[in-house]
A and B are shown apart, each in its own frame.
Chain A
Amino acid sequence: MSNSTTIFEVDNVPDPTDFPSTDVAPGLRELDEALRCSICGELFQAPLTVSCGHCFCSLCIRTQLAVKAECPLCRQSTSEFYLRKAQTVEDAVKAWNIARPYILQLCREEERRKAPVTPPLVDEGIEFRSPKKRKRSSTPDDEVVEIPKPTSSKNAQRSGLSPTPASGSSTPQVVPCPVCQRQVSYSIINQHLDQGCKSTSDFETGSSSSGSKGKQKQDWRKLFSAGEGSTSSGNKGKGKLKTKAKVDDDASPIPKVAYHTLKEKRLREMLADHDLPNNGDKDTLIKRHERWALLYNANLDRTPTDRLTLEDLRRELKKWETERQTKRQAVTDLNAYQKANKAAFNQLVEAARPKKPPTKLPQSDSPMSLNEVEEVPGSSSLTALSSPAPDPTVIVVDEE
């Protein structure tokens, strides 16, 4: 995360703007939007409805309701008690996950057909940065070639666009799984989804997790090597993971815990009961168990066949802990950077610093300490971005 270019190149985050705007492809963006959770912005994962009828991912709304007992959209008061499984929405999302890459493919073909003269400026390898590419339809190039939209779209349908998405040259080889976010080969994405995001392929890149492997907590490493070692001598044990039991149909949710009443020893036992690491201070233990309960209970809101294994959930939990640590690290780096540029920041730091030593600060006693975002003074040289995209491979039309 050292520079912006890396961030914006590495991650393809699908969103409704992947589709052409409504004048070009009526309803597609809106459909994609409607199937997304307004908290995380992803396509619903184990969608639940709140009493008001609004829908969110199980994990998102459970996490939020633990903070505030109201619907985040309409603020009607509610609680976990009123959460209901939105089976129909889940089915719709499942189908949309499969249809989405295909429809994006059709949109690309359509766009290419409309403007055959304009060579694609985007490298095919990063093709599904299509949200930006689509903007070319509003560039002068396209305005010259005026084609009546309704006619051309009908033509496209009649011209018998290839029913198999694999035939297009721009078919993405690897797409991020809309459910588990892993990189999955396009050709097996359906299979992968059908199997509830189990590791079905060699195409799943371990890049995100392998990068952080070195920083793994000792106890996490022990945990995984122990679990996998017991069934396989290989250190990866991928094949064995598949045979790990999924969470049963009749598994029951982890009940609420009044953490403040518990002794640290009891917390460690509870974590051990779930085969979770039990190192760290009490706050860490509570956070870990809390998050585990959320992940575990949200997983139960998935259709049984789509549920992740406990092993997967532990991986998720580990990822969550690592992210919290990395974030802290990243800000430390920023601080270091600012120290290196002290001259430029001196003035700002002075301005931002309290005039007296902060002895009796109005402190929030929130357990989610925000130490990691402290001491970041603003940059003194703010200039409007003339070109908002630092990444030259992304085509963005600057709308003034």
Chain B
Amino acid sequence: MAVSSRRLQKELTEIKTAGTPCGITLLKADDFQTWFLSLEVLGESQYKGEVFALMFRFDPQYPISAPAVQFVVDDKYKAPLHPHVYSNGHICASILGGEWSPVLSVIAVCITLQSMLASCKEKKRPPDNDRYVAHAPDNPKKTRFVYHESDSAAAP
């Protein structure tokens, strides 16, 4: 069993025994390649009543290599309207790029994204949304995001 699978199995056991934090639910984890979790912001926020889904994709180097994480965009789910979230579901968050650490986990990422949404002041797309979405690779890990304090931008 690959190290990445063993590590994910441990995370799964942890989720199943300790449960997930409030607002985070495991939707689907049938294998060690792709997981889906749902995310909502509890309490007062810009996203009250909205439920989002996150897709995690893992490669064999996980957790040394960060998972590819994006919001699911389909007929059931939409990407949250947020200055760091593109309409195709791609997320500009340093924790998913240069600030990833192998001690982080799927749940840790969910919590970070949850608080990213919770602290949102104004619901809007990143300024370069249309340009980025038109050329975005399928895998958000192939994008080099430039991280700003407030707004985000994908560097070509």
Chain A contact residues, CB within 8 Å of chain B: 1, 3-4, 7-8, 11, 13, 15, 17, 38-42, 60, 63-64, 67, 72-73, 75, 131-132, 135, 181, 208, 323-324, 327, 330-331, 334, 347-348, 351-352, 354-356, 358-364, 368, 370, 372-376, 378-385, 388-390, 396, 399-400
Contact = CB atoms under 8 A, between A and B. Distances in A.
Contacts of A67: 64
A378 B36 contact: yes
B121 interface: no
Nearest to B27: A382
A363 B136 CA distance: 9
Contact of B27 (A1, A351, A385): A385
B44 interface: no
Q: For chain B, give the interface size range.
A: 35 or more
B36 A11 contact: no
Nearest to A6: B31
At the interface, is chain A mostly helix, strand, loop or mixed? loop
Given A42-B6, A60-B102, A334-B33, A13 B138 contact: no
A90 to B, nearest CB: 20
Given A368-B65, A370-B68, A388 B10 contact: no
Contact of B74 (A324, A378, A385): A378
Given A11-B1, A11-B6, A361-B137, A376 B34 contact: yes
B153 to A, nearest CB: 11
Contacts of A383: 27
A323 B65 CA distance: 15
27 contacts: A7-B9, A8-B9, A41-B6, A42-B6, A60-B102, A63-B64, A64-B64, A73-B103, A131-B13, A334-B34, A347-B74, A352-B88, A354-B136, A359-B135, A362-B142, A364-B144, A368-B65, A370-B141, A373-B59, A376-B138, A378-B74, A382-B76, A382-B77, A383-B27, A385-B26, A385-B27, A389-B16
Nearest to B141: A370
